[in-house]
Amino acid sequence: MAGILAGSGPYEGIARDADLFIFKILDQNGQGSLSQALPALRWILEQGGKYNIKAVNLSIGTNDRKVSPALRDAVDALVRRGIVVVAAAGNAAPAPLFWPPPISNSIITVGAWEERKRLEKKSFSPFSASAYLPDLWAPSESILSVMAKDCPLGPSRTPVGNGYLLMSGTSMATPMVTGAALLLLEKEHRLAPFAVKRRLMLSSLPRQGLLSVDRVLE
């Protein structure tokens, strides 16, 4: 995710000049807990002003059917502090499970463009109140980025060349939107989080809700 957002070298990220704070809240198998996520969000809330943190990327999900009030409060607090929060909507299981659209309308929820047909009965509508419709979509299949040291390989992780791999999922789509948000804030640094969300969503409308970095920066 870091490479997709801000990578340099032969495969540049969306916002290549961005500085990153990386919080490890998941293990090598991609598993974690709320008790690991909340301290990271709390640190950002407390230290974000000092380090000029503009956006938070949450390439994580959960199978929980209920919204965690603690998690909702944590992301809402970040947005009130002026920090854009971008989160993965979740990947399709036997039925499409999308997290976290119900958690908070203040954050930006990103769905997988290639999975959108699973929701074809729900038309794309900006600022929809639907708990199952992402705010916008971004590419998610076979995304090339840097490979972390000692990264375990498997069917969903295909090594490419030296130090790169292909992966798929909304975790890959989310940093594209976070990167676009940072580029927009670099251009118009006074924008509030909701204004950033609105600009990203409205610029995606001509592409059926698909992220368009060029259009949002016009």
Per DSSP, 115 falls in state: G
Structural domain total, the chain: 1
User: In a 3-state reduction of DSSP, which class is residue 160?
Assistant: strand
Over 60: is that where the pLDDT of 210 sits? yes
What CATH number should be reported for the domain holding residue 57? 3.40.50.200
Flag whether the pTM goes above 0.85.
yes
Tens-digit pLDDT profile for residues 59-96: 887 666 667 888 889 999 999 999 999 998 876 544 44
What residues contact 84, with CB distance under 8 A and at least 6 apart?
54, 55, 56, 108, 178, 181, 185, 193, 196, 197
Tens-digit pLDDT profile for residues 2-57: 889 998 878 888 999 899 999 988 776 677 788 888 999 999 999 999 999 999 99
Helix (H) or strand (E) holding 11: none
Task: Look up the domain containing 44 and give its range.
Answer: 2-216
